[in-house]
Structure 1
Amino acid sequence: MDGKMLARLGAVVFVSLAITATAIEMARKETVPDTEHARAVEPARDPLRDGQRRCQQLGQAAASDAACLRVWAESRDRFLGRAPAPAIPPTKGQ
């Protein structure tokens, strides 16, 4: 068998595999999700996120706003996976 014949045989095998794969893909039936009963799911409101939005809208004034400082501390604690800091630190006399 010479090189030309081997190249032709390889090309015929390749083309036949490509045609077979195309026929299988075209014969496959696609399942369409049932959108008739689908409904929009509204995410639960997150008060922390609302506070962050409020602070974002305040701009530079948010740096001196006590509520924004509290929101940022809570956000940082949530991100780092820490328990939130107590609102009022205990005194030594108690």
Structure 2
Amino acid sequence: MDGKTLARIVAVIFIALAVTATVVEMTRKQDKPGAAVLEAPAPSHGPLRDGLRRCQLLGEGALRDSGCLRLWTEQRDRFLGSKAPFVSSTSQPLPPLSPDANAPGAR
């Protein structure tokens, strides 16, 4: 066998594999015609979200901000579904924590 014939055989095999892979892929997509596209829920804008966004922009300074600490507590309680009564971020602010309450050994 000379080089030209071998190259033609390899080219024919390559094309046959490409066509087979294309056909398999096209039939696979036809098996799932009604695949639902997952969409994120529409963002709900509210005072809690706006406050959390502000705290995010504060960066590391938010660790010392009593408002951010209150908002994080409220968000954590909402996420965990705590049994405590829900305190809205628009209601009266909580009293600030004492400086030693944030100390690592205070817990």
* Structure-2-length-normalised TM-score: 0.41
Greater RCO structure (CA 8 Å; 6+ sep): 2
* Structure-1-length-normalised TM-score: 0.45
